[in-house]
């Protein structure tokens, strides 16, 4: 896959997004959003709840079942000024599930809002929960690139960090939502099938699905499968360099069950695998490249690890053989679930190995998410976004949806 990232200029992947087009609140009914349909170059529109009529029968839809954690913690300094700590990921490569289960204290990489107000010492927050006083302390240990290493300690010590976030934290709405969190966001900023705690942003393509829509898929013989990719704050990180080659892609944790790898292997070549969201797409394409590593004898360590430029620096392999290699690897190592990290970036020129379609929202200008869409449908992304802007579609996380079929 010979692509020169230095030739991909971010100025070619921008558009004018008026503030009023950015959805600040969700619709009352998830599946009542608009649905833009792009099918073999033709654009039409419908309502999301009718999506089962658009998806080809016998398709396999792959969802991301990650669950958003209450990643925003608010403290006050002795003078009463608010300081916000945004928990990004556990320190020292601790597995996310393990870190959330820790008791008494944790060390996490965090962003800090209004850092100047944090002169020294520990920040303290207390809350009364069912008659029990809970106390949370934050101690700044060191600076880490563009974030900070912070120790969080709490009482009672028998509580897990996941429980502490539930008590003290808030749902982390994206920065382009210029409003405070409401009680309703706790439910509306999660997919109805969310299960595995760990994301600091929702896989928003899935927000439109209701149980009713999921039931209708089954009736139409449309199969569903689930991966887990814990979305990091880097998903909102704009590309600030002229060339994409200078952009550092964020790392995210992924988990994939053996049964899904087998399902993908059985469906490759049928032209009927559809990603629900960019995170599902990045996860499965990362899986493919892990299989390539196995086939080429390049895999090291004890987990999946896909670097940013892996697809552009190595020769591809047959997709079926790639997934068969993963199945063999998992069985040989007695793994029912594959865990790893991916930094993969998908840019125009990328050769998709698995998917024939994607269900996705409308993304920010000059974002890596928009680059992925441009990679999938080519320069037609401009026509598609112009149509959405001219036909009152709502943009970004709480916005409307699209289904893109090649």
In a domain, 378, yes or no: yes
Going by pLDDT thresholds of 50, 70 and 90, the confidence category of residue 270 is: confident
Average pLDDT, the chain: 94
Instruction: Supply φ then ψ for residue 217, to 5 degrees.
Output: -65, -45
Instruction: Check whether residue 216 and residue 152 sit in a common domain.
Output: no
Given this model, what pLDDT does residue 406 score?
Answer: 87
Instruction: Check whether residue 100 and residue 61 sit in a common domain.
Output: no
Q: 94: which residues sit within 8 A by CB, 6+ positions away?
A: none
Instruction: Supply φ then ψ for residue 202, to 5 degrees.
Output: -80, 145
For the ranges 162-166, 221-225, 233-237, which has the lowest average pLDDT? 233-237
In a domain, 180, yes or no: no
Residue range 25-50, pLDDT digits in tens: 999 999 999 999 999 889 999 999 99
Number of domains into which the chain is organized: 2
Contact at 8 Å (CB) between 335 and 258?
A: yes
Domain-terminating residue out of 170, 199, 223: 170
Given this model, what pLDDT does residue 1 score?
Answer: 52
Instruction: Check whether residue 279 and residue 316 sit in a common domain.
Output: yes
Instruction: Check whether residue 104 and residue 153 sit in a common domain.
Output: yes
Domain-terminating residue out of 137, 170, 203: 170
Residue range 88-108, pLDDT digits in tens: 989 877 788 899 999 999 999
- Domain span at 240: 5-67+190-405
Given this model, what pLDDT does residue 5 score?
Answer: 76
The answer, yes or no, to whether residue 145 has pLDDT greater than 90, is no
The answer, yes or no, to whether residue 126 has pLDDT greater than 70, is yes
Read off the pTM: 0.94
CATH assignment at residue 47: 3.40.1780.10
Residue range 224-260, pLDDT digits in tens: 999 999 998 777 677 888 888 888 888 899 999 999 9
Residue 152 pairs in a beta bridge with 106, 138
Residue range 37-83, pLDDT digits in tens: 999 889 999 999 999 999 998 999 999 999 999 999 999 998 899 99
Q: Taking phi first (over 0 means left), then psi (-120 to 50 degrees means alpha), and beta for anything else, what does residue 318 get?
A: beta
Residue range 201-212, pLDDT digits in tens: 999 999 999 999
Strands of 401-405's sheet in order across:
42-47, 34-39, 401-405, 357-361, 273-276, 60-64, 223-229, 252-257, 337-342, 304-306
Instruction: Check whether residue 242 and residue 322 sit in a common domain.
Output: yes
User: What proportion of the chain, given as a percentage, has pLDDT over 90?
Assistant: 85
Instruction: Check whether residue 272 and residue 373 sit in a common domain.
Output: yes
């Amino acid at each position: 896959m010979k692509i020169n990232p230095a030739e991909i200029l971010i100025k070619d992947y921008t558009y004018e997004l008026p503030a009023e087009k950015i959805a600040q609140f969700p619709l009352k009914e998830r599946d009542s959003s608009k649905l833009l349909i792009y099918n073999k170059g033709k654009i039409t529109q419908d309502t999301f709840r009718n999506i089962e009529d658009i998806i080809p029968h016998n398709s396999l839809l792959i969802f991301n079942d990650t669950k958003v954690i209450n990643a925003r913690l608010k403290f006050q300094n002795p003078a009463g000024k608010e300081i916000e700590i945004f928990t990004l990921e556990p320190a020292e490569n601790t597995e996310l599930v393990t870190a959330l289960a820790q008791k008494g204290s944790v060390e996490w990489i965090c962003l800090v809002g209004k850092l100047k107000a944090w002169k020294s010492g520990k920040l303290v927050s207390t809350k009364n929960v069912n008659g029990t006083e809970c106390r949370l302390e934050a101690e700044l240990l060191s600076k880490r690139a563009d974030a900070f290493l912070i120790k969080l300690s709490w009482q009672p010590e028998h509580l897990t960090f996941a429980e502490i976030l539930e008590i003290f934290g808030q749902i982390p709405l994206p920065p382009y939502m210029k409003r405070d969190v409401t009680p309703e966001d706790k439910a509306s900023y999660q997919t109805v099938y969310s299960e595995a705690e760990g994301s600091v942003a929702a896989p928003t393509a899935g927000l439109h699905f209701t149980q009713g829509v999921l039931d209708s898929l089954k009736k139409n013989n449309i199969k569903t499968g689930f991966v887990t990719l814990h979305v990091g704050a880097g998903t909102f990180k704009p590309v600030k360099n002229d060339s994409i080659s200078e952009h550092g892609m964020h790392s995210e944790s992924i988990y994939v069950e053996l049964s899904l790898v087998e399902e993908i292997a059985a469906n490759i070549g049928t032209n009927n695998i559809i990603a629900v969201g960019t995170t599902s797409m990045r996860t499965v394409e990362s899986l493919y490249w892990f299989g390539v590593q196995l086939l080429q004898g390049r895999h090291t360590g004890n987990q999946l690890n896909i670097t940013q430029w892996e697809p552009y620096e190595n020769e591809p392999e047959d997709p079926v053989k790639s997934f068969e290699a993963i199945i063999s690897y998992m069985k040989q190592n007695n793994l029912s679930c594959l865990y790893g990290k991916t930094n993969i970036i998908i840019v125009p020129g990328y050769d998709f190995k698995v998917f024939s379609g994607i269900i996705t929202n409308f993304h920010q200008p000059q974002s890596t998410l928009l680059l992925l869409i441009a990679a999938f449908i080519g320069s037609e992304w401009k026509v598609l976004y112009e149509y959405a802007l001219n036909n009152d579609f709502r943009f970004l996380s709480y916005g409307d949806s699209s289904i893109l079929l090649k």
